[in-house]
Structure 1
Amino acid sequence: MPYSYRITKYTETNEECFLASPPEEWTSFHEIDTPEKEKDYVEIENRYLNSIRIITDCMNITNYKISELESHDSADFFEGQEINTSDIENIARQILREKIWCKLISPNGEFHFGYDYYMYFLSNKCAPACISALSKNLTIQEYLSPYA
């Protein structure tokens, strides 16, 4: 897919001018160890889930297929399974919380999930209206998904 975007909670750049987190900021669900971090985590996770819903609606995607599934403790999903967009929150939450990993693919777009809480959206058409609506709560950049 010719269009690729990186979606992230990060707003600061490191010494190499890459978006990154400060050392004290969590980058994984497994780093949540205080009530304050948990509150922040849930807020950010909800932003990501909302962005998935907005992009899915904007791109007229009605379902995704699970691709390249890696699951250590979940029998809830299987390779090639179709996920209706009304059920997307459940699988996306499990991916963000690192219970499973997979790509969510459709003819009009794909979501890939990376390390350190990076998410990627790939599309067969430019999605500026969808993307600009999200940029108030998350950082959106044109960026090639390393999982493409």
Structure 2
Amino acid sequence: MFAVRATKYDPTKRDARGIFHINEWTSISDIGKTFDGKELTPEDYLQMEDAYIAAIFQLLEATGLSCLAIELLENKMGPDARRSLQQLDTWQLRKKLGAIAIEGELDLEGIELISRLSLREALWCKLKGDHATYVHFGWDYYMYLGTEREGACLGSPPSGMHFETLKSPYAQTFYEG
């Protein structure tokens, strides 16, 4: 089995307690704000969001899966979601999700859509698949990936991301499959 915390945060920048002390953006609502002298642009945000989606697709490829099911869905929005809905067509993505049957399994398009909405704090969810495969989203742009598929390997993280061996703190249920 492997389990990783997949983030944009460089683990070498953490202190001995694991706390990240760099002034870093953590949400879509930070677009337009300045961090360490550089403004977070919509393009910069989307580039990182794309890297997170790529990491999810790496997991799917490593496990041979092409669909995941929603294990848990909270349709409530994060603290800065009202503002984020107005950015990067997030409201349109949310409306598109309403047209997708979210009961049962999500195909690749559905996985990407619900993942983008989770990263943008427009909803919160946990995804699961065969072989105890999971994708969990945390606050502050943390994501957790894992599987019990024998021989599965994620490889190197997408550009700008880091994989740290760590089981999801949201893994509170037992999987079958």
TM-score band, normalised by shorter chain: 0.7 to 0.9
Aligned to 1:124: 148
TM superposition score normalised by structure 2: 0.70
Q: Check conservation: 1:49, 1:93, Cα contact below 8 A.
A: yes
Distance (whole Å) between structure 2 residues aligned to residue 127 and residue 142 of structure 1:
16
- The residue type paired with residue 138 of structure 2 is G
- 1:128–1:135 distance in 2 versus 1, CA, 3 Å: farther
Distance (whole Å) between structure 2 residues aligned to residue 147 and residue 70 of structure 1:
13
- The residue type paired with residue 56 of structure 1 is L
Identity %: 29
Q: Check conservation: 2:62, 2:152, Cα contact below 8 A.
A: no
Unpaired stretches in structure 1, ≥5 consecutive residues: none
Aligned to 1:71: 75
Give the superposition deviation at 1:81. Answer: 3.5
Give the superposition deviation at 1:18. Answer: 1.9
Aligned to 2:60: 56
- The residue type paired with residue 136 of structure 2 is H
Aligned to 2:20: 20
Give the superposition deviation at 1:69. Answer: 0.5
Secondary structure, aligned partner of 1:140: strand
Q: Which of structures 1 and 2 has the bigger CA Rg?
A: 2
- 1:22–1:34 distance in 2 versus 1, CA, 3 Å: same
- 1:121–1:136 distance in 2 versus 1, CA, 3 Å: same
Aligned to 1:93: 116
- 1:107–1:128 distance in 2 versus 1, CA, 3 Å: closer
Aligned to 1:137: 160
TM superposition score normalised by structure 1: 0.83
Unpaired stretches in structure 2, ≥5 consecutive residues: 78-93, 172-177
- The residue type paired with residue 149 of structure 2 is K
Task: Report the aligned-residue RMSD.
Answer: 2.5
Give the superposition deviation at 1:137. Answer: 3.4
Of 124, 138, 160 in structure 2, the residue corresponding to residue 114 of structure 1 is 138
When you count strand as a share of all residues, which structure comes out higher? 1
Secondary structure, aligned partner of 2:156: helix
What is the aligned residue count? 145
Worse-superposed segment, 89-98 or 135-144: 135-144
